[in-house]
Amino acid sequence: MEEHIRQHIQKLPRYDDKIQYITVTLDTDAAENVVEIIAKCHRADLVAEARHHEMYPCIDEAFARIMRQVKRHHERVVSHKPRDAK
């Protein structure tokens, strides 16, 4: 399971190379598994949570959510306007 999480973590810098740290918390609630991911990016803390009855799909869903957030945050931070030549 740890290797599965590491593979997902290695994909995140593709979308934003300014990720400072990532915290992954695995928990079990009654009949559900809970995965919470906190990623500290440039000027933002991104949080994704997923619940599922099996752990591996829960991890995949949480990482899919955090990847969307990282992509969206990167698009907001990076300016797509050309610089003025002075």
| pLDDT one digit per residue (tens) for the chain, 86 residues | 899 999 988 888 877 777 888 999 999 988 899 999 999 987 889 999 999 999 999 999 999 999 999 888 888 877 677 666 55
**CATH number for 17:** 3.30.160.100
> Which residue range is the domain that position 15 belongs to?
2-77
Q: Is residue 83 part of a domain?
A: no
pTM for the complete prediction? 0.82
Sequence-ordered list of residues with C-beta below 8 angstroms from that of 74, at least 6 positions apart, any chain: 15, 16, 41
Owner of token pair 């999480």: 5
Q: Is residue 86 part of a domain?
A: no
Q: Is residue 17 part of a domain?
A: yes
Which of 43, 46, 27, 45 lies closest to 35, judged by CA? 27
| Total number of domains in the chain | 1
Q: Is residue 27 part of a domain?
A: yes
